[in-house]
Amino acid sequence: MRAVVSVLSNDATVSTLTGGQVFAGIEPPGKKVPYVVVSTEDIDPNPSKSEVSTLDYYQVEVFSVSRKLYTDSDGTVGAYDLSEACRAALDQQVQGLVSGQDIDRIDFESQNEYHDIEANNVKHTVYQEYRVILKR
């Protein structure tokens, strides 16, 4: 969802924490953490009896990824703290035209975390779901 990627890329806090690394779909191979990935899980139209849907409901996933879960004293950005910055930028904060998409509203819905270990490297991911309502 290009509007959500744009909002996060242009948010000063998210941009500073990630070094500008906000990606759509999947992160490019070899990218260093921290970064954010935005993915669309589902799209539901708002049906009408007599005309085309005027609103679409998107389920959007935002993944905040880092080597630490929480920011520590050495300044390494934690996935949880990065996810909080994403939520502050998105939840009930955006309306209007963004990157060619007309946003009616964005609502935070849920959050989970998971952890990967690859060749002695730990990656922490905080996964958030948002409902994004777009005007058509």
pLDDT digit string (tens) for 77-102? 999 999 999 999 999 988 898 999 99
pLDDT digit string (tens) for 30-75? 889 999 999 999 999 887 777 888 899 999 999 999 999 999 898 8
Contact status, residue 64 vs residue 128, Cβ threshold 8 Å: yes
What the block records as the tokens of 7 is 């909002």
Q: Where are the domains of the chain?
A: 2-135
Q: What is the pLDDT of residue 20?
A: 95
Residues in the chain: 136
For residue 20, give the nearest of 1, 39, 6 by alpha carbon.
Answer: 6
pLDDT digit string (tens) for 19-28? 999 999 988 8
Q: What is the pLDDT of residue 28?
A: 85
Q: What is the pLDDT of residue 53?
A: 82
| Helix (H) / strand (E) containing 90 | helix 79-90
The CATH topology of domain 2-135 is STM4215-like (3.30.2000)
Q: What is the pLDDT of residue 63?
A: 97
Three-state SS at 75: coil
What the block records as the tokens of 51 is 């005309």
Using CB atoms within 10 A of its CB, is residue 80 exposed (0-12), middle (13-18) or buried (19+)?
Answer: middle
CA–CA separation, 45 and 29 (whole Å): 34
Q: What is the pLDDT of residue 27?
A: 86
Q: What is the pLDDT of residue 93?
A: 87
pLDDT digit string (tens) for 114-131? 998 877 788 999 999 999
Question: What's the CA angle centered on 55, arms 50 and 43, to 5 degrees?
Answer: 110
- β-strand 55-66 against 121-135: which pairing, if any? antiparallel
Contact status, residue 71 vs residue 81, Cβ threshold 8 Å: yes
